[in-house]
Chains A and B, each alone.
Chain A
């Protein structure tokens, strides 16, 4: 029962705070010989698997490291293009680590803005009068909860689908926001939140919620 991450989005849809509490990175490292039976391609400045799922390596996984050394974007740590490197038989046997790519800050910004728009469309397409935007979005591996305040700030929490008590957690995060960000005289509204006390209190609140969620769901 975990809470994966917390995002705070301002009125305009810009991400002002992001915290990853638990990032489960299932990574697989395997040694390969020439020729590689996976098809790799460039995607968004990364090298991802496009075909050839096997042994825990899925389509969409990115190349994270080669021979133990982390890759830098499309190139190895030495600056050679990864696809070129892997075409050369003299570089084999090679040990490559695959896994879900971590989101960069830019991608998180884009996703937060995307959600901001989807939230509004969810309200527009409502078949009932007076609907809010998307408050909870469910998939098979996570649940996204969103609480929009009267001033338009959205608090978004990604958690395990079985985690309970997220509504109370969202209200608590709002309380922490108003205590440690809004009351901070050096904080400007709608700007990224860089307040230490906000971070500390948020982490504590997440711990408390995770423990309480465990008791609730376990019984």
Chain B
């Protein structure tokens, strides 16, 4: 039961925040390229899903899973995208991501007059609160190395 990593993207595709807790394998490309690839993949998945869907959707793409991990996705109406990779035992992390948005991002970044002007999240408080929150999740447990 674990959380691997978390990305936060803004509506233009810039990665605002990234942190990893239990990542075993790097992507083999530089971090910048990885952010772009991740954003591009999500953008394509959203467009794919909207065309492919047999019925009209309200929330759209929620998550996908492979044989080893699950990617959870949450997008706010303002275009902010929260992406979290966890292992397969976590079935729904949507509330977690919503909590990160409303209780951490909005409280600590949006309401901070100093942080709102710069695009990337430089707030120490945000990083430490987010880290504490993730570690406190019921499904987070650092695996023995």
Residues of A within 8 A of B (CB): 4-5, 22-24, 26, 58, 60, 100, 103, 107, 111, 114-115, 117-118, 121-142, 144, 158
With A24-B55, A115-B48, A127-B24 already in contact, the answer to whether A139 and B61 are too (CB < 8 A) is yes
A23 to B55, CA, bound (A): 9
Contacts A114-B44, A139-B61 known; A123 to B56 CB distance under 8 Å? no
Complex: how many Å from CA A183 to CA B51?
Answer: 34
Q: How far is A142 from B62 in the complex, measured between Cα atoms in Å?
A: 10
Q: How far is the CA of A138 from the CA of B73 in the complex (A)?
A: 10
Q: Within the complex, what minimum Cβ distance (angstroms) separates A27 from chain B?
A: 12
- 6 A-B pairs in the complex with CB atoms less than 8 angstroms apart: A4-B54, A100-B55, A129-B24, A136-B65, A138-B63, A139-B62
- In the assembled complex, the Cα of A131 lies from the Cα of B69 at a distance in Å of 7
Give chain B residues whose Cβ lies under 8 Å from the Cβ of A23: 54
Selected contact of A142 from candidates B20, B54, B65, CB within 8 Å: B54
Taking a contact as CB atoms under 8 Å apart, the answer to whether B66 and A133 are in contact is yes
CA distance A22 to B61 in the complex (A): 21
Among listed B33-41, B99-107, B109-117, B130-138, interface-contacting one: B33-41
**Residues of A with C-beta under 8 A to B51:** 103, 107, 111
Q: Chain B nearest CB: distance from A26 CB in Å?
A: 7
Q: Output the residue of B45, B54, B56, B68 with the most chain A CB within 10 A.
A: B54
> CA separation between A126 and B52, bound complex, in Å?
24
Query: Hey, which chain B residues are within 8 Å of A58, CB to CB?
Result: 56
Complex Cα spacing A205 to B58, Å: 31
**Category for how many chain B residues contact A:** 35 or more
B125 within 8 A of A: no
Main DSSP-derived SS at the A contact region? loop
A158 to B20 Cα, complex, angstroms: 32
Which single member of A124, A127, A158 contacts B69 (CB below 8 Å)? Answer: A127
Q: Is the CB of A140 within 8 A of B58?
A: yes
Q: Tell me which of B20, B37, B49, B66 contacts A123 (CB under 8 A).
A: B66
Q: Does B32 contact A (CB under 8 A)?
A: no
| Interface mask (B64-100 → A, CB under 8 Å = 1, otherwise 0) | 1111110100000000000001010000000000000
Q: Which residues of chain B (1-50) have a CB below 8 Å from chain A?
A: 4-5, 20, 22-25, 27-28, 34, 37-38, 41, 44-45, 48-50
- Tell yes or no: B118 within 8 A of A by CB: no
A142 to B54: give the CA distance in the assembly, Å: 8
Taking CB atoms, residues of chain B closer than 8 Å to A111 are 48, 51-52
Which A residue sits closest to B83, measured CB to CB?
A: A125
Q: Taking each of A121, A126, A129, A134, which has the highest tally of chain B beta carbons within 10 Å of its own beta carbon?
A: A126
**Complex contact B27–A125 (CB within 8 A):** yes
Chain B residues with Cβ below 8 Å from A60 are 50, 56
**Cβ-defined contact, A127 with B41, below 8 A:** no
List chain A residues, Cβ under 8 A from B128: none
B59 within 8 A of A: yes
Question: What residues of A have a CB within 8 angstroms of the CB of B52 in the complex?
Answer: 103, 111, 142, 144, 158
Partner of B68, one of A114, A118, A126, A144: A126
